[in-house]
Structure 1
């Protein structure tokens, strides 16, 4: 092998190593490339059969201290909505502009037990919506006599992820593109011992909320699923 070829091969190896290093340590945040997100103005106070119940202060179930929450999440939003029959649904959103390894959105099945709840069952589902099937996770929780079914999803960048494998694959896709994805947790729950009824009303709530948004707004909440 000539000296020139050796030099070119060495240069190619160095460039490959440099590219891998950049990919494994991305610095460009997806959040900086997007319009600013304001959850309070994005989520309407009234839509479909639901209106915000301002007298009730919904609590985000989260075991972290305020300092940790402020570090992980750029914004959180908690509201309680009520329909004409008096049925209440608690909505909780948490958005983080940096979903690197130390800044991960925390799953409800981890947060609820830290508050004393039992997670009785966990399952995945697809809610049929006009925009297509929405993949969600459902958990049944209980604290004493209080039964609180939960429906949620998590986005990494522009993708809804279910489970650690999907989440890691999505993170790797952005990492090898040299980017740090943002992330959002969308969670609804209701205090209801009748689990099927709770999930049915939560699905209708999600359907009407997403239907009240523009395609761009849906995309911010539900990734590429909500773009159409």
Structure 2
């Protein structure tokens, strides 16, 4: 019988230790289990503060990602087109996943748009103004032929709003080291507009109007606990959901 060398034994021991450590550190407690069940379709009103859902939209909303991936990583998704009294259209897409471990993490829009043939440029970190507070967000410009579609979005991981791949990974890891599997949500608005400044201004107004219209529990799902503390005056109860 061939006797294993000390080097081989040492490598085997290291591999077993690494496997054991990885198993020990793998988070098991899902943050999604700490909160009541919710339905995005019920949380987001069909009409609010001058905006109304267009039931037969003429504009195709870009999927948050391909359907097979969507079904794997997201527990819920919502896609709607809204129009205001000016005739301006805003496309809203929200996707929620209760498990944000690396292979199931939320896909950012710059990745999704590229995967569907768009060119992506002008990616920048911004802060959306909201009732004396701010929401960290991302903006980018996308184009497919003559279709120019400026996009504003944010990603929530657990109770943190993150911007970019590094922040997303750090947040996921920080929760994991505490034995917790973070949930996550992508909130995205976009519009077909050749003028980016006009598009981003309308998108910010839309976000403000929507957050003003929904209940506190709904804002918690969209923003996480941490951002709620700074949104002074936003104390609409669950029974005060706006519908017009």
Q: Would the TM-score normalized by the shorter structure come out above 0.5?
A: yes
Counterparts of 1:22 and 1:214 in 2: how far apart (Å)? 40
Instruction: Judge which range, 108-117 or 160-169, deviates more.
Output: 160-169
SS of equivalent to 1:196: helix
Q: Deviations over 1:205-226 (max 9, x none)?
A: 0001011122222111011213
Question: Which of residues 54, 59, 62 is equivalent to 2:61?
Answer: 59
Once the two structures are TM-superposed, the CA of residue 168 in structure 1 deviates from its matched residue by 2.0
| Equivalent residue runs for 1:197-216 within 5 Å | 197-216=198-217
Once the two structures are TM-superposed, the CA of residue 55 in structure 1 deviates from its matched residue by 1.1
Q: Could you list the runs of 5+ residues in structure 2 that have no partner in the other structure?
A: 1-17, 232-244
Once the two structures are TM-superposed, the CA of residue 21 in structure 1 deviates from its matched residue by 5.0
Contact 1:79 1:90 in 2 (8 A): yes
Counterparts of 2:78 and 2:60 in 1: how far apart (Å)? 9
Q: Deviations over 1:11-47 (max 9, x none)?
A: xxxxxx9x96566301111111111121000001111
SS of equivalent to 1:200: helix
Counterparts of 2:74 and 2:60 in 1: how far apart (Å)? 17
Residue in structure 1 matched with residue 98 of structure 2 by the alignment: 97
Residue in structure 2 matched with residue 150 of structure 1 by the alignment: 151
Once the two structures are TM-superposed, the CA of residue 149 in structure 1 deviates from its matched residue by 0.2
Contact 2:130 2:208 in 1 (8 A): yes
| TM-score when normalising by structure 1 | 0.87
Give the 3 Å change call, closer, same or farther, for CA 206–125 of structure 1 in structure 2: same
Q: Deviations over 1:74-112 (max 9, x none)?
A: 011000000001100000001001000110110110110
- Output the aligned Cα RMSD: 2.0
Counterparts of 2:129 and 2:142 in 1: how far apart (Å)? 24
Q: Deviations over 1:140-173 (max 9, x none)?
A: 0111111100000001011100122221221122
Give the 3 Å change call, closer, same or farther, for CA 27–136 of structure 1 in structure 2: same
Asked if 1:180 corresponds to 2:186, the answer is no
User: When the two structures are aligned, how many residues end up with a matched partner?
Assistant: 211
Q: Deviations over 1:156-193 (max 9, x none)?
A: 01110012222122112211211100000000000000
Residue in structure 1 matched with residue 107 of structure 2 by the alignment: 106
SS of equivalent to 1:125: strand
Counterparts of 1:123 and 1:23 in 2: how far apart (Å)? 38
Residue in structure 2 matched with residue 26 of structure 1 by the alignment: 27
Give the 3 Å change call, closer, same or farther, for CA 63–175 of structure 1 in structure 2: closer
SS of equivalent to 1:116: coil
| TM-score when normalising by structure 2 | 0.81
Once the two structures are TM-superposed, the CA of residue 49 in structure 1 deviates from its matched residue by 1.5
Residue in structure 2 matched with residue 163 of structure 1 by the alignment: 164
Counterparts of 2:160 and 2:211 in 1: how far apart (Å)? 16
Residue in structure 2 matched with residue 72 of structure 1 by the alignment: 73
Residue in structure 2 matched with residue 6 of structure 1 by the alignment: none
